[in-house]
């Protein structure tokens, strides 16, 4: 069975939506890029963030790039 993949920003969005519904006003990376604070939030939930993000999206990108390389760079 393949490992489950998801976009970690979906988790961050879910948490922030819940906090906003409770009347709170969360901020993420107010002093700069939100990447590291978001990664810390994910780690707090036991989720290991990766630079690659959603593996399904990455696989599709790699497949598309491979197809483009084959069509554009290979000579008959």
Answer whether residue 76 shows pLDDT above 50: no
Q: Would residue 1 count as lying in a domain?
A: no
Q: Would residue 2 count as lying in a domain?
A: no
Q: Would residue 58 count as lying in a domain?
A: yes
Give the total number of structural domains in the chain. 1
Q: Average pLDDT for residues 8-19, to the nearest whole number?
A: 86
Q: Smallest Cα–Cα separation from 42: which of 66, 14, 8?
A: 8
What is the Cβ-side half-sphere exposure of residue 57, based on CA atoms within 13 angstroms? 8
**How far is the C-alpha of 45 from the C-alpha of 25, rounded, in Å?**
20
Q: Would residue 3 count as lying in a domain?
A: no
pLDDT, residue 10, reads 84
Q: Would residue 60 count as lying in a domain?
A: yes
């Amino acid at each position: 069975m393949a490992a489950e993949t998801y976009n970690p920003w979906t988790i961050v969005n879910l948490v922030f939506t819940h906090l906003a519904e409770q009347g709170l006003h969360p901020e993420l990376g107010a002093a700069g890029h939100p990447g590291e604070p978001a990664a810390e939030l994910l780690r707090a939930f036991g989720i290991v963030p990766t630079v690659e993000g959603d593996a399904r999206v990455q696989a599709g990108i790699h497949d598309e790039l491979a197809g483009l390389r084959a069509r554009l760079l290979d000579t008959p």
